[in-house]
């Protein structure tokens, strides 16, 4: 933690919350329309669009997988602020590029660029670790989740409303939000990592996928915890990969319906992240909270898979929202296993895992969905698989807890 006075640390925390909320708002506005735009380019072929949406997700996550360790190492050396600002500026310019994309190849290139620059959440986690004592980090990560959810409350609703007029309009809105975020950060966001706690040079040797995985393998507790977090990340990919196309096929939802449904999910997530994470962890501890969250998420996905109507599908939202307590618990436990000068590398490594889950998850879930349509099979199979992944995450997480975590350094 830095030696800055408490009031300044609190102000910095508010600044980073706003930064995350604006960034997620920009991402959220595109969620209801990107699959629709791909479908439009494919002449209305839903099966082909489902496969391409999976490919788009794979490409975006592949860039995250490669660049997250690099950005983490850069933030450990140069500080968090310049990485956040560069990310927001790059995203804003990229959304403009995608808004003007005349064909699928150009849209695909835009997704590659956004994958390389979208680093603000991982860097924000390192930022929080810089300014927060270890015992309070999980609660703070919960508030980051609330800011994330707030962006998705407004983002999909705005995207759905704008998409009803023009599928390109949400991309322009996303560009405006990201560029406004960069401007806000330039004037307001302070640096969180004190110069004396920065690495003397960029750790290029570890700023790659192999180096980040070696970092996570350095002790059993961290390895098991990272494995459990990866499975949770992988299950999460079922939401962006399936939500729009699944509800369109199963319940005949349009762009506006999907936007409001995703906004409802965001409301539930914000309530859990902002109102339940801190008291749950204070009362139950990170380990018990993690177990409850993973069980709730598994049950929620099973309900998604078998719900016969849209109303019952949405009734499972609170269970999936309770799963939102898992990530802050994971993050809180993980940050206790890294030193002050390693938080960027840690978050880069975890971000790389998220990138790998994003590479494989969209392909897995979109292909499951496409096969279910082709074979007239159980269309909820993808969400059923997500529930099984969370069950496996719970098992690995329990192994990590048994392995134990050493005291924070």
Distance CA 147, CA 114 (A): 20
Nearest to 289 by CA among 122, 409, 139, 135: 139
- Does residue 197 lie within any of the structural domains? no
SS3 166: coil
Tell me the mean pLDDT in the region 334-350: 75
- Does residue 195 lie within any of the structural domains? no
Whether 190 has a pLDDT exceeding 70, the answer reads yes
Nearest to 120 by CA among 184, 168, 172: 184
User: pLDDT band for position 405 (50/70/90)?
Assistant: very low
Whether 225 has a pLDDT exceeding 60, the answer reads yes
Residue found under tokens 């959220």:
28
Nearest to 294 by CA among 234, 360, 219: 234
Question: What is the model's pLDDT at position 152?
Answer: 66
Q: Are 55 and 378 in contact (CB under 8 A)?
A: no
CB burial readout 313-346, b (16+ within 10 A) else e? bbebbebbbbbbbbbbbbbbbbbbbbebbbbbbb
- Does residue 194 lie within any of the structural domains? no
Whether 389 has a pLDDT exceeding 90, the answer reads yes
Question: What is the model's pLDDT at position 409?
Answer: 41
Whether 406 has a pLDDT exceeding 50, the answer reads no
Tell me the mean pLDDT in the region 123-127: 80
Q: How many domains does the chain have?
A: 1
DSSP 150: H
User: pLDDT band for position 408 (50/70/90)?
Assistant: very low
Question: What is the model's pLDDT at position 278?
Answer: 84
| More confident: 219 or 308 | 308
Question: What is the model's pLDDT at position 315?
Answer: 92
Nearest to 350 by CA among 15, 71, 24: 71
Q: What is the residue range of 35's domain?
A: 6-189+208-403
Nearest to 120 by CA among 83, 66, 151: 83
- Does residue 395 lie within any of the structural domains? yes
CA dihedral 84, 88, 89, 94 (to 10 degrees): 140
Phi, psi of 218 (to 5 degrees): -70, -15
| More confident: 102 or 211 | 102
Model pTM score: 0.69
Tally of CA atoms within 13 A in the half-sphere of 167 that contains its CB: 17
Residue 396's contacts (CB-CB under 8 Å, 6 or more residues apart) are: 224, 227, 228, 231
Tally of CA atoms within 13 A in the half-sphere of 303 that contains its CB: 18
Question: What is the model's pLDDT at position 297?
Answer: 94
Question: What is the model's pLDDT at position 387?
Answer: 94
Structure tokens at 322: 């309770």
* Count of CB atoms situated within 10 Å of the CB of 167: 21
User: pLDDT band for position 8 (50/70/90)?
Assistant: low
pLDDT > 90 in the chain, percent:
12
Distance CA 283, CA 139 (A): 12
Average pLDDT, the chain: 80
- Does residue 409 lie within any of the structural domains? no
The pLDDT tens digits for 252-272 are 888 778 878 877 877 787 788
Question: What is the model's pLDDT at position 24?
Answer: 73
CATH of the domain at 341: 1.20.1250.20
Can you list the alpha helix ranges (DSSP code H) found in 164-237? 169-188, 209-216, 220-236
């Amino acid at each position: 933690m830095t030696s800055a006075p408490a009031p300044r640390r609190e102000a910095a925390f508010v600044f980073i919350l706003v930064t995350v909320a604006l960034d997620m708002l920009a991402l959220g506005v595109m969620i209801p329309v990107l699959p629709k735009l791909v479908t439009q380019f494919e002449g209305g072929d839903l099966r082909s669009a489902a496969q391409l949406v999976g490919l788009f997700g794979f490409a975006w996550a592949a860039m995250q997988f490669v660049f997250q360790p690099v950005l983490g190492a850069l933030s450990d050396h140069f500080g968090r602020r310049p990485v956040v600002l560069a990310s927001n500026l790059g995203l804003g310019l990229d959304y403009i590029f995608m808004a003007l994309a005349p064909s699928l190849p150009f849209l695909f290139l835009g997704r590659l660029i956004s994958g390389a620059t979208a680093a603000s959440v991982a860097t924000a986690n390192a930022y929080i670790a810089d300014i927060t004592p270890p015992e309070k980090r999980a609660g703070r990560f919960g508030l980051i989740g609330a800011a994330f959810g707030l962006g998705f409350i407004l983002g999909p609703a705005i995207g759905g409303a704008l998409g009803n007029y023009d599928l390109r309009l949400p991309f322009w809105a996303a560009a405006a939000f990201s560029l406004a975020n960069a401007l806000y950060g330039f004037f307001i966001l302070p640096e969180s990592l004190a110069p004396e706690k920065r690495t003397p040079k960029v750790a290029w040797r570890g700023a790659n996928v192999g180096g980040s995985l070696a970092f996570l393998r350095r002790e059993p507790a961290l390895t098991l915890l990272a494995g459990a977090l990866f499975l949770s990340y992988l299950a999460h990919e079922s939401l962006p990969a399936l939500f729009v196309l699944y509800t369109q096929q199963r319940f005949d939802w349009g762009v506006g319906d999907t936007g409001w449904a995703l906004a409802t999910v965001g409301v539930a997530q914000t309530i859990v992240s902002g109102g339940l994470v801190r008291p749950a962890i204070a009362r139950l501890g990170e380990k018990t909270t993690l177990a409850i969250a993973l069980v709730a998420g598994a049950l929620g996905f099973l309900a998604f898979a078998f719900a016969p109507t849209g109303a019952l599908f949405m009734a499972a939202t609170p269970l999936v929202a309770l799963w939102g307590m898992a990530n802050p618990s994971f993050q809180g436990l993980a940050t206790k296993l890294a030193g002050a000068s390693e938080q960027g590398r840690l978050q880069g490594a975890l971000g790389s895992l998220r990138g790998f889950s994003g590479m494989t998850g969209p392909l897995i879930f979109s292909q499951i969905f496409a096969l279910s349509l082709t074979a007239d099979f159980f269309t909820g199979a993808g969400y059923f698989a997500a529930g099984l992944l969370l069950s496996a995450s719970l098992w690995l997480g329990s192994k990590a807890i048994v392995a134990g975590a050493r005291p924070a350094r």
